[in-house]
A and B are shown apart, each in its own frame.
Chain A
Amino acid sequence: MSFSFADVDSVRKGLSDVQYLADEGIAGVVYLAERLQKPVLVEGPAGTGKTQLAKSVAEATGARLIRLQCYEGLDESKALYEWNYKKQLLRIQAERQGEDPEGEGMWQQIEDDLFSEEFLLTRPLLEAIRAAEPVVLLIDEVDRVEIETEALLLEILSDYQVSIPELGTVAASQIPLVFLTSNNTRELSEALKRRCLFLHIDYPDLDREKEIVLAKVPGVGESLADQVARIVRSVRQIELKKAPSVSETLDWARTLVLLGVEHIDADTAAETVNILLKYRSDIEKALKEFASSDEDFAAPVATS
């Protein structure tokens, strides 16, 4: 068995080569996932790079990315496999028009044919298992499916195989690296969590956010990236309904570059803050906080 990553540091390096800035925790868990051959459950606030992580790991390792986007109502036929009944019908018709089927044996034969490879429609999970080449399987927003549907995933996540009643058990020819993401809108089942390594991705710290901006926003200067990261950090310290995510940081930085801003003063910040914050009440709160710092002078040092 050969591994894509020699150690934790080479995970970090490999990801940064494809413009994904990982911290120690992210790199460590990706490294372990490959060594232990275990899926990773990635959780955290919106827009912090959960989905991107799976994509970037695929890119860094040269693996094929297979994605299962979850939604309410997702079922077996969309996640695992389905029989192509139209094609099956056609086959039956063709059979009828040809020579008359003679007796039981013939029908048995047809039925066997109907439930063979030829009529199987593979969906992402089965596809990931059957692929010959290395695969990264992304099961995105798993918290959206009903808790009963989670059960569909368990066999794959623990044994890397799928049982199809008509065909038997399909075992993986390679072990895919699996990432499940969740926005934590509901508790996932204990059974699912037990099978996974758990990774919580929080908002990046100042230095990492600055690096992300530098890596992702064409034309942004060192100084502007630094200011953006600092202001975002301060904004996140305010108690808000929705704190700005990394995507919003990036959108904001892009806008500032477009506007030709080099130094963010209070006016620029006020004019563009609607890109960073989405709720009216949040915007008002932030503007108030930054407009006058007089009252803050008297405030005691914040404790952790």
Chain B
Amino acid sequence: MKVEPATSPLLALLAGFISELRAAGLPVSLTENLDAMEAIQHIPIEDRDAFKYALAATLVKNHAHWRAFETVFEVYFSLRGAEYDLIDGEWPEGMDLSDFVDGMDGQQRRQGGGGGEAMSAEQLAEMLFQALMRGDDALMRAIARQAVQRYAGMEPGRPVGGTYYLYRTLRNLDLDGVLERLMDQARQDAPGDLTPLEERLERDEFEARVDQLRKEVEAEIRRRLVADRGVEAMAKTLRKPLPEDVDFMHASREEMMALRRAIYPLTRKLAVRLARKRRHGRKGPLDFRNTMRHSLSYGGVPAEPKFRYPRPAKPEIMVVADVSGSVAAFARFTLHLVYAISNQFSKVRSFVFIDGLDEVTSFFEGVDDIGEAVHRVNAEADVVWVDGHSDYGHAFEVFWERYGKDVGPKTTVMILGDARNNYHASQAWILKEIEHRARKVFWLNPEPGAYWDTGDSIVSEYGVHCDGVFEVRNLRQLEGFVENLV
């Protein structure tokens, strides 16, 4: 296989691309690097899709990393290919606006047919509506470019992020309004009334198209930013943590959705792994007495070795979770994970608190959708006592008073929260009592270790009475902790 000299611009670009993937956290080995270089030699250079899949197949071996890959790919290769030339305001060949816009007089038609900038805002809006109504991809792309050109207000060297331009462009396009117009049109076009099912299907279809348009707008903004600032700088700006590394406490809405999608496969994987561990770890040391006893039936020959089955009693788990604002997501994911593997424990009980405390065990009993149960906990648990600011001290008091008697030598207590007590009394003595009675007490804190004991955080005051205090900021750490718990 002939490899182009390293001086080739494409290979140089590829080298930069791969080092950015590594910087974003993807584990790309040397072999894979070479594979990618070989793979693209088999792909016609102008076929951008094939090029992308060739790189993905050789460099990305974990689907959770796909989004990160895509972002870097867009940045590095967004300026490639003829259809992505940056020519402001020019319309695709052969596209005549007058075909799309009703109710324009001849004068307007002629003007409109030339270039995008001749259009009024109303005409652009009308075209957008038509394009979405028909699901015309080429036209949608042209409109997205026109809209960015017109509304984003991008200027070279301006130090604002892509989100700002996106916001400005989308605000002017009023996509929510357009969606309602599309739905109205669909209702009018239908022979009779739309049934709820038909409504839903129409809406999902239009939403998919609107989404497509939004992506085109984003892509256009990114292309312009890359042209302005250069590939490396943009890649760095857009770098985001991989899903397993996303901080529970600072996840954006989109990241939160990615996390929620990640939790089901993760729990399934964990359950399979634990079940396997149990089956394999079953054989204990040789049980001499039992072997000899059985040997009697073989005339004294110890033909069938017997093993001692280690029978570690399954622990009973009590989860006590702070569910106030900033740590709520962390509590939800932890509860979800613990319940997903609840067959590993003899019993799981859960309690949630803010400044008041409520047992929520029953929410999880007999349900087969844990996600739903977690959602109910969120909506229905009675956790506010005075003002809805976390009060660990009071919550522990309530716990001790009502449930302290249930803590025993088989109980593992897991406390979830940032230990930010809003300067209330800590009542740390209660933890000390719990520690005496329980098998283990663990504290899981979603804050980075560096912030512990700063401000109103009193982790250490509680921590001295725990068997372990763990930083659990992301799914990776959570999975690790839960696996060790079993």
> What is the chain A residue whose CB lies nearest that of B58?
A197
Q: Does A141 have its Cβ within 8 Å of any Cβ on chain B?
A: no
Q: How far is the CB of A11 from chain B (nearest CB, A)?
A: 10
Whether A293 pairs with B196 at a CB distance below 8 angstroms is yes
Q: Does A279 contact B (CB under 8 A)?
A: yes
Contact A304 B196 (CB under 8 A): no
Contact A266 B49 (CB under 8 A): no
B203, CB-defined interface residue at 8 Å: yes
Residue of A nearest to B200 (CB): A293
CB of A28 within 8 Å of the partner chain = yes
Q: Are A25 and B66 in contact (CB under 8 A)?
A: no
Cα separation A193 to B61 with both chains bound (whole Å) = 7
On whether A265 and B195 interact (CB within 8 A), knowing A29-B53, A36-B42, A304-B215, the answer reads: yes
Contacting A at CB under 8 A, from B153-207, are 175-176, 179, 195-197, 199-201, 203-205, 207
Are the C-beta atoms of B29 and A186 separated by less than 8 Å?
Answer: no
Instruction: Enumerate chain B residues within 8 angstroms of A32, measured Cβ to Cβ.
Output: 39, 42-43, 54, 57
Contact A302 B211 (CB under 8 A): yes
How distant is A286 from chain B, measured CB to nearest CB, in Å? 11
> Which residues of B are found within 8 Å of A301, using beta-carbon distances?
175-176, 179, 207, 210
Known: A36-B38, A234-B204. A239 touches B260 (CB 8 A): yes
Total A residues in contact with B, Cβ cutoff 8 Å: 58
B185 to chain A, nearest CB (A): 15
Q: Measured between alpha carbons, how far is A150 from B42 in the docked complex, in Å?
A: 30
- Residues of chain A lying within 8 A (CB to CB) of residue B211: 302-304
Q: Which residues of B contact A291 (CB under 8 A)?
A: 196
Answer yes or no: A292 CB below 8 A from chain B CBs.
Answer: yes
Instruction: Tell whether, in the assembled complex, residue A281 and residue B367 are in contact, meaning their CB atoms are under 8 Å apart.
Output: yes
**B254 & A25 in contact (Cβ 8 Å cutoff):** no
Q: Is the CB of B50 within 8 A of A28?
A: yes
CB of A275, distance to nearest CB on chain B (Å): 17
A184, CB-defined interface residue at 8 Å? yes
Q: Pick the contact of B35 from A38, A269, A293, A296 — CB < 8 Å?
A: A38
Q: Which of A209-265 contact B (CB under 8 A)?
A: 230-231, 233-234, 237, 239, 241, 264-265
For residue B204, which residues in chain A have a CB less than 8 angstroms away from its CB? 230, 233-234, 237
A63-86 vs B, Cβ < 8 Å mask (1 yes, 0 no): 000000000100000000000000
A24 in the interface (beta carbon within 8 A): yes
Given contacts A184-B269, A241-B264, A301-B179, contact A279 B61 (CB under 8 A): no
Q: Identify which of B29, B43, B50 gathers the most chain A CB atoms within 10 Å of its CB.
A: B50
Distance of A231 Cα from B196 Cα, bound (Å): 12
Asked whether A198 and B61 contact (CB < 8 A) given A281-B367, A281-B368, A281-B369, the answer is yes
Q: In the assembled complex, which residues on chain B have CB atoms less than 8 Å from the CB atom of A194? A: 29, 31-32, 61
Q: How far is the CB of A145 from chain B (nearest CB, A)?
A: 11
Kindly supply a per-residue 1/0 record for chain A positions 22-35, scoring 1 wherever the CB is within 8 Å of any chain B CB and 0 otherwise.
00110011011001
Q: Decide yes or no whether A280 CB sits under 8 A from chain B.
A: yes
Instruction: Check if B47 sits within 8 Å of A231, measured CB to CB.
Output: no
> Closest residue of chain B to A266, judged by CB?
B197
B279 CB, min distance to chain A CBs, angstroms:
9
The answer on a CB contact under 8 Å between B57 and A28 is yes
Q: Mark A276-304, 1 if CB is under 8 A from B, else 0.
A: 00011110010001111110100011111
Residue with the highest number of chain A CB atoms closer than 10 Å, among B47, B63, B254: B63
Interface string of B262-304 (1 = CB under 8 A from A): 0011001100110010000000000000000000000000000
Cβ-defined contact, B268 with A290, below 8 A: no
CB-based contact B63/A43 at 8 Å: yes
Look across to chain A and name the residue whose beta carbon is closest to the beta carbon of B40: A32
With an 8 A cutoff between CB atoms, is B60 at the interface?
Answer: yes
Q: Which residues of A contact B265 (CB under 8 A)?
A: 184
Taken together as a complex, chains A and B put the C-alpha atoms of A25 and B208 apart, in Å, by: 21
Contact residues in B for A296 (Cβ distance below 8 Å): 199-200, 203
In the complex, A300 Cα to B177 Cα: how many Å?
Answer: 10
Residues of A within 8 A of B276 (CB): 72, 146
A43 to B53, CA, bound (A): 15
| Structural contact, A290 and B57, CB atoms closer than 8 A | no
| A172 CB within 8 Å of chain B | no
Q: Which residue of A lies closest to B204 (CB)?
A: A234
Partner of A28, one of B53, B196, B367: B53
Given contacts A300-B176, A303-B214, 10 further A-B contacts (CB under 8 A): A28-B50, A72-B276, A184-B63, A194-B29, A197-B57, A241-B264, A269-B197, A279-B369, A292-B196, A303-B254
Q: List 7 A-B contacts (CB under 8 A).
A: A194-B29, A206-B208, A230-B201, A265-B197, A266-B196, A301-B176, A304-B214
User: Which chain B residues have a beta carbon within 8 Å of chain A's beta carbons?
Assistant: 27, 29, 31-32, 35, 38-39, 42-44, 47, 49-50, 53-54, 56-58, 60-61, 63, 66, 175-176, 179, 195-197, 199-201, 203-205, 207-208, 210-211, 214-215, 253-254, 260, 264-265, 268-269, 272-273, 276, 367-369, 371-372
4 nearest CB pairs, A to B: A28-B53, A193-B61, A197-B57, A281-B369
